Each structure stands twice: as structure tokens, then as C-alpha cells.
Chains A and B, each alone.
Chain A
């Protein structure tokens, strides 16, 4: 079984559309994250949830909204997509609230906005 799974793996969409990326972890972890990796491969944290509570919210446009229906799921919804949103988005999870140790990452979702 995949520890952290994201869907879809690839997403191609037009500017202005709204799209969602889903993430699920079966590790029993309390904390989940969303990261963005741009074309230069630089990895930046976007959000973190602990037991459905938002605990990290980096400077991200309001068009990005995370949703955590339960602690095993953290979805990312993006409104009014822009060309600059094209990137690879990674979901991750870790056991502790403020621990980055041994975070498990998903395979990534490559988003292309045309």
C-alpha cells in the first residue's frame, strides 16, 4: 500500500479554471502538508494541518485553499488558475505536530496551466 497517495498524478488545465488535488495518508499520522516545487526544483512549504487544524499557512495566494475532512486527508483546491501556478505539488505527512522528522511524501502532482 502507498503511504501517501495523491491524485491526479498529472493535471493539465486552462487558465481561469478551478481544480482540486487530493491527498490521503494511511500512516496514522497527525500532520499533513502541501509543498510546491517550481521549475527550478526549489521546494517550498505551503500549508500544514494537524488533526484537521491549520497550523502553517505560508504566504500563498487566497486562490489556494486547503481542506482537511479528516486527519488522513488533505486536499488542495485552486481557484482561477494562472500560468504561474504550473509546478509539481507534493503532499506529505509526519507523526508529530511540529516535527519535520521522517516526513513521508507523495509522488507529486504535476500541474500544467495553459
Chain B
């Protein structure tokens, strides 16, 4: 199964952009790239997902490398509420076949 690699931790200052990287060099053509985050003592929360093209939503942007072997989650202006563990996840489903691979996550600390 394809695996993801993320830095264990990153630090940012409030109101500055944050770029969270994820490597997935063994990704296959049908794997979707998802990002979830987990705030302290809460369940994971969906952030964004994509396949090949860059994606934007109200929470973040997702930049996907042309060869799809890496991606970057971009928080445009970090706030204290963005402090969380961010998971990069590969997901594929084809009928009854599926695979769901979680990375170990990046702990993002946001300094005031």
C-alpha cells in the first residue's frame, strides 16, 4: 500500500502562512489525497482533498506536485485555532476494493 511521510512537527507564527508537506512517492493513479486535522481532545476534521489539480476551499489550499509524489497543505493565515495534528491520507476505492493509508501526522504549533 502507498504510504505517506510527514514531518513530525512544525511551528508557525500567528497570521503567517503555513506550508505543511507530505511525501507519497508510491502513490498510484487512482489514489485521492485527503487532509484531515485533529484539534486537541477532538475527533479528526476534514480539511481538503484532491486528485491531480490544486484545490482551494474556505479552510485551506492543496498544492499537488505534477508527478503527484508530494503535496502541500497551505494555511494562508495561521490562527491559534489552527494548532492541531494534520494528517495526510491516501484514499482509493474501487467498488469493494479500497485502501486507506494514514500518515503519522504533523503537529502544528502556532505562536501568538
Residue A105, interface by CB 8 Å: yes
- The A/B interface has a contact count, at CB < 8 Å, of 49
Which of A56, A90, A105, A108 lies in contact with B98, CB distance below 8 A? Answer: A56
* Size of A's binding interface in residues, CB under 8 A: 22
Interface on chain B toward A: helix, strand, loop, or mixed SS? strand
Residue A102, interface by CB 8 Å: yes
* Size of B's binding interface in residues, CB under 8 A: 22
Residues B38-96 near A (CB distance < 8 A): 41-46, 49, 85, 87, 89, 91, 93-96
Residue B104, interface by CB 8 Å: yes
Contact in complex: B102, A43 (CB < 8 Å): yes
Docked pose: A44 CA to B42 CA in angstroms: 16
Which residue of chain A has its CB nearest to the CB of B107?
A41
